Chain A
Amino acid sequence: MTQTSLSEKLFDRINLLLLALLSLAMLFPIYYVVCVSFTDPAEHLKGGLLFYPKGLTLENYQYLFSTPLFPRAIGISAYLAVFGTLLSLIVTSSLAYSLSRKRMLGRKTMLRLILLTMLFHPGIIPNYLLIRDLDLINSLWALILPALSSGWNVFLMKGFFDNIPDGLEEAAVIDGCNDIQVWWRIILPLSLPAIATFGLFFAVAYWNVFFNAVLYINDFQKWPLQLVLRQMLIDSSTSVGGGTVLQEGQIINTESLKMAAVIIGCLPIMLVYPFLQKHFAKGVLVGSVKG
């Protein structure tokens, strides 16, 4: 008995140590990016590795916040991340749940067809023409509808629903629920860890939407955050390519500003995960079955 607890302790120690090392390796870039974002651009130019912000300044952040598009863009991205995620979860989980029921006729064909959409990509032109024909150009729906679901999410969510014991469904059916009620009142509440996980995946995807916004949103007032951030950071001289002409009023962006934008661009969505983690508590599913 003492022996097992000794080896258990050793196991725990080593495990914690390894994870700490891993975290350090990941922490370095966060630290580095944060340092640079608070560094005076002129100091950063001198080069070398920064271990602390040199010539501490808030000007990079002030600049980002001072632009009129910025607050609106955060609002739009937040809206996409919340509203889009909810729609995505509803569409994807309902499909994944029905496809996880083996009694459903034709489910294998449907799964195969969904698989094909993951492998074959028709390219941006047909997608653009579709969005145009649906009259969605310049509408935020153009950023939500084409991203509502994906084969990857359907297959994985179905994988989670596959594990739900039939006993639960049976009990609900005895209470007179139909399939939709079973899905809404039993399956979804019981799969909270999975729903939280996929919600996070969807939210991050919506938050990071960039390319579709370039293609589908002409009105800059409706640009999401990533588009606005990257627009601010374009190095005018590189993008002008062969015809390098710098003009008055063009801002040469500094590395410090870029890093500040990186922080602003990912901090809000990063904070979602720690918040969701409480849903990852063990035994939600089994606990309720017993209860």
Chain B
Amino acid sequence: MKSKLPYSAGKLSLILLSFALAGGALLSACSQNSDGSDASGSPSAGASASASASSEPPTPISIMTTFFGDEPPGPDNVVIKEIEKRTNTKLNITWVSSNSYNEKVNVTLASGDFPDLTLILDNFAQNVRTMAAQGAFWDLEPYIKDYPNLMEYPQEAWDNSRYQDGKIYSIPRVRGLDTGMVAVRKDWLDRLGMEPPQTTDELYEVMKAFTTGDPDGNGTADTVGLVGYISADGLNLGSFNSILNTFQGANGGWKIDGNGNLVNMTTDPSTKEALAWMRKAYEEGLIHKDFATLKNTQAREIVMAGKAGVNFEPVSGSWVMTEGVRKIDPQGDMLPLVSLTNPKGEQYVGKGIGYYGTFVIPKTVSEEKMKKILSFFDYGASPEGYELGAYGFADVHFTKDGDFYQQTEQAKKDIVSTSAFGQVFTRFNKYAYAVAPNVSTDYYERSKGIIDQISEISVSDPTNGLYSETWSKYRNEWLKKTTDLQVKIILGSVSLESWDDYAAKLAEDTNWIKSIQELNDAYKTKKGQ
């Protein structure tokens, strides 16, 4: 034992020690490294920027935002340097993985010292709303008028992000308003000699023909009419929600009735009609057997594999599906439909809120600096600023061909893209949903035409931005129960009549009635302003 022990103990301690030393060196090397790059990045370049821009020192702006892609641009990125120069700012950007972005924002907000510009994905989340009410963010309404490019954002995007106290606490990260809702295999329709469906009845016939009529011409009935998914959080019917809303003729299930009152359509007979329609379709095998367990990407992949011909997806998704389908069938084409008409004769297509996430500015920032931040943002919403932020330098990072930006290899190398700084600088584009990676010119032009048609009739959700304490407390419980029952009805595991009992009971629920009343009050307050 004696001869053995000191050896193994000595060996162990030697290993531990050497690892500890190596580890310590690595750790300190790491932190030094980043400090070093920070230092080399800021003073020299920042000084030259300020010297060339104006005599004023650059305004430091800290930003927290998300990004897509492999790697975010670093502080010494050429485009960011140029933006700093042109806006006379010194940017300190925290790029957060779009995974778990919400958790990161929640802890950052909770810590009290959040960046000068913080992207919040849901500006109506309970904690954000409370903070706004407590005066944590700047009310930007009185100021935005002075920024012409920001005023180019559609009024709807501003209004939808507005709280019911009439205040605008954040800058929307604008997106297209008209998203589209459903796409159909055009080549299959052609092969079967059918026209694109315009009503729910016609859609049913198309789904039937896609299921039984061998639309891909391979000799076996191995295709299905409709595929879709149920929302992963279980709070709505996912892609089937559009069917429900079409029957209701109401976006999000909320409608303004003849008296100007807000009504919820869940308890309306049209909801039951929609359920009956879907139940029958499922029973006849027109809906993919696994829809209740699919995720949205899976539903899309089933279309791409040429196994289903209809999917409720926005226009951008229809290109993704088309591109996938064409790998198997070069003629494949998912055609976005403009709208669907329900049995009552109402033409319906939903409208989006026009933004995804908003940027807040904390009240701890001085008024003067807040204005500087707004002008920084305003620059990003200008044609020049947006192009610089999202696409970089002409001929270096992109070449332009009509509406299309052809990105160069240098753009990839310099991490210049809409997925990077394009997540900070945004500019409204009506046809945003027609734009998609690798989209072909004719497909893009056709989508633009469809979006034009959609924009004339699209229906928005009247409850955008409204708040009711009771509603927000019980909302998710109701939505979950409603969705569960609806899915069971479609699957045929409970009777269609069970919906009547549920709807009747819900309509009598005191909290439900109270919520609708509160939301009506909120609606009137918001409208009155």
Contacts and interface: CB of A to CB of B under 8 A. Distances in A.
A125 B106 contact: yes
A199 to B, nearest CB: 11
Interface string A260-291: 00000000000000000000000000001101
Interface of A: 42, 45-47, 67-69, 76, 79, 82-83, 86, 90, 124-125, 128-129, 132, 138-141, 184-186, 188-189, 211, 214-215, 218-223, 227-228, 230-232, 234-252, 255, 288-289, 291
20 contacts: A45-B305, A45-B327, A47-B302, A79-B26, A83-B27, A185-B9, A186-B5, A189-B5, A215-B104, A215-B107, A230-B97, A240-B356, A243-B355, A244-B316, A246-B316, A246-B320, A247-B419, A250-B419, A288-B1, A288-B4
A249 B407 contact: yes
Contact of B405 (A125, A223, A236, A248): A248
Given A132-B111, A249-B419, A189 B12 contact: yes
Contact of B418 (A188, A238, A247): A247
Contact of A220 (B95, B355, B436): B95
A54 B57 CA distance: 59
A214 B100 contact: yes
A138 B94 CA distance: 11
A212 B183 CA distance: 41
Interface in B68-87: 68-72, 74
A243 B356 contact: yes
Interface string B1-40: 1001110110011001001101110110011011001000
B401 interface: no
B68 A234 contact: yes
B441 interface: no
B302 A86 contact: no
Nearest to B407: A249
Contact of A184 (B9, B71, B97): B9
Contacts of A237: 296-297, 316-317, 320
B110 A67 contact: no
B356 A139 contact: no
B175 A243 contact: yes
B34 A139 contact: no
Interface of B: 1, 4-6, 8-9, 12-13, 16, 19-20, 22-24, 26-27, 30-31, 33-34, 37, 68-72, 74, 94-100, 103-104, 106-107, 110-111, 121, 175-176, 179, 295-297, 301-302, 304-307, 313-314, 316-317, 319-320, 324, 327-328, 352-353, 355-357, 405, 407, 411, 417-419, 422, 432-433, 435-437
B320 A86 contact: no
B70 A231 contact: yes
Nearest to A75: B26
A11 B499 CA distance: 59
B314 A244 contact: yes
B304 A86 contact: no
Contacts of B95: 220
A77 B405 CA distance: 37
Contacts of A83: 19-20, 22-24, 26-27
A185 B97 contact: no
A165 B435 CA distance: 72
B107 to A, nearest CB: 4
Contacts of B319: 246
Nearest to B356: A243
A79 B110 contact: no
Given A124-B107, A189-B8, A239-B99, A245 B417 contact: no
Nearest to A70: B70
Contacts of A288: 1, 4-5
Nearest to B13: A184
Contacts of B355: 243
Contacts of A228: 70
Contact of B71 (A69, A139, A238, A291): A69
Given A222-B30, A231-B99, A249-B419, A46 B328 contact: yes
A175 to B, nearest CB: 9
Nearest to A219: B34
Contact of B16 (A86, A132, A186, A211): A86
Contact of A222 (B34, B68, B307, B352): B34
B153 to A, nearest CB: 14
Contacts of A291: 1, 4
A184 B9 CA distance: 7
Given A79-B26, A188-B12, A249-B407, A244 B4 contact: no
> Could you say which of B107, B296, B418, B432 has the most chain A C-beta atoms within 10 Å of its C-beta?
B107
Contacts of A125: 106-107, 110-111
B97 A214 contact: yes
A251 B320 contact: no
Contacts of A185: 5-6, 9
Question: Which of A140, A227, A230, A240 counts the most B-chain CB atoms under 10 A from its CB?
Answer: A240
A39 B435 CA distance: 29
Which residue, of A67, A228, A249, has the highest number of chain B Cβ atoms within 10 A? A249
B34 A242 contact: no
Given A129-B110, A248-B436, 17 more contacts: A82-B19, A86-B19, A125-B107, A132-B111, A139-B31, A140-B30, A186-B9, A214-B97, A214-B103, A227-B97, A234-B68, A236-B68, A242-B353, A244-B316, A245-B356, A245-B435, A247-B422
